[in-house]
Amino acid sequence: MGDVGSVDVELEVMTALRDFLGDGVVVRDELDNSLLEELPTVQVQVSGGDDDGYRLDRPFVDIDVYHSTRADAIALAATIRGWVLTQLRGSATETAVFGWTSTISRPAIRPYENTGLRRVGATYEIYCHPVS
Share of the chain above pLDDT 90, in %: 85
pLDDT at residue number 5:
67
Instruction: Determine the average pLDDT of the residues in 72-77.
Output: 98
When the pLDDT of each residue in the chain is averaged and rounded to a whole number, the result is 94
| Dist. CA 29–CA 63, nearest whole Å | 9
Give the strand order in the sheet containing 26-28: 26-28, 41-51, 57-67, 118-130, 96-109
Q: How many residues does the chain have?
A: 132
Amino acid present at 102: S
| Dist. CA 91–CA 89, nearest whole Å | 6
Amino acid present at 64: D
| Dist. CA 123–CA 103, nearest whole Å | 6
Q: Is 1 a residue whose pLDDT tops 90? A: no
Q: Is 9 a residue whose pLDDT tops 60? A: yes
Q: What is each CA distance from 14 to 33, 115, 116, in whole angstroms?
A: 19, 26, 24
pLDDT at residue number 6:
82
Q: Is 36 a residue whose pLDDT tops 60? A: yes
Share of the chain above pLDDT 70, in %: 96
